Amino acid sequence: MLEIKNLHARIAEDGTEIIRGLNLTVKAGEVAAIMGPNGSGKSTLSYILSGREDYEVTEGDILYNGESILELDASERAAKGIFLAFQYPVEIPGVATMQFLKVAMNEQRKYRGEDELTTPEFMRRVKEAAAELKIAPEMLRRPLNVGFSGGEKKRAEILQMSLLQPKLCVLDETDSGLDIDALKIVADGVNALRSPDRAVVVITHYQRLLDYIVPDSVHVLYKGQVIKSGDKTLAHELEANGYADIIEAAA
């Protein structure tokens, strides 16, 4: 489903190279964890996958279902089924959460040539998904992410994910700032979306989240490259020994 080939990318503004020859393949149905120390390029990778314009790809390619997505903007990638759950969901005062959800769902449907949702159908879906994630209706009446606690923001991200039903889900440090109860709710939400035709990329600094979202593969990112891949035991190894050994072995 996702194939990243020899990817090189830099910050558009100052030319700093962050991703330096990254290779990664994630199959449909797979949950891949990307781990790595601070500054290894994890978040940058998530932004590049979702089409943030602050980064430039200078070499290599990103294939999604066999097609390069480098020429697509963020909204087109989203409509094709790529979803980024933000590490820091953005507050947008003046945009009502419900209005935003409706526009996002319907714009994606329009792009794919599907009919827009009727209001009752939209309401039904939101109600159901919100209940699953224990999101109070009051929260949905506020402007988008405004005044949400850290945990509420992360749950709102997963709510969006479950409503938009993407094919490739990228979770950027979704565990940061969550207490254990919130972490479980969020992990349940992600696990509910696991399916043979959907891939999930979990970017995380700590192994903790992976106790709840058990990955099929684990990849260690360092200085913009995948320096080691393995199964879930690699995450435990990292938790016990830290990154130093692997970094040294790769050097």
- Angle of helix 119-132 relative to helix 97-111, nearest 10 degrees, comes to 110
Least distance in Å: CB of 170 to other proteins?
A: 10
Instruction: Give the position of tokens 């260690």.
Output: 220
Least distance in Å: CB of 104 to other proteins?
A: 4
Per DSSP, the three-state class of 18 is: strand
Residue 172 or 175 having the CB closest to other proteins: 172
Q: Determine if 214 is a binding residue for other proteins (CB under 8 A).
A: no
How distant, in Å, are the alpha carbons of 148, 167, 194 from that of 158?
14, 14, 13
The dihedrals phi and psi of 217, each to the nearest 5 degrees, come to -140, 155
Least distance in Å: CB of 43 to other proteins?
A: 13
Least distance in Å: CB of 21 to other proteins?
A: 25
Q: Determine if 53 is a binding residue for other proteins (CB under 8 A).
A: yes
The dihedrals phi and psi of 67, each to the nearest 5 degrees, come to -115, 140
d(CA 2, CA 34): 14
Least distance in Å: CB of 6 to other proteins?
A: 25
Q: Determine if 212 is a binding residue for other proteins (CB under 8 A).
A: no
Residue 35 or 84 having the CB closest to other proteins: 84
User: Which of 12, 54, 59, 121 lies at the binding interface for other proteins (CB under 8 A)?
Assistant: 54
Q: Which of residues 123-152 bind other proteins (CB under 8 A)?
A: 143
Residue type, position 125, single letter: R
Q: Which two tokens stand for residue 225?
A: 């490259």
User: Which of 79, 140, 235, 238 lies at the binding interface for other proteins (CB under 8 A)?
Assistant: 79
Cα of 232 vs its chain's centroid, Å: 19
Number of chain residues interacting with other proteins (CB under 8 A)? 29
| Contact call for residues 13 and 54 (beta carbons, < 8 A) | yes
Residues that bind other proteins (CB under 8 A): 50-54, 73-75, 77-79, 83-84, 86, 89-90, 92-95, 100, 103-104, 107-108, 111, 143, 160, 164
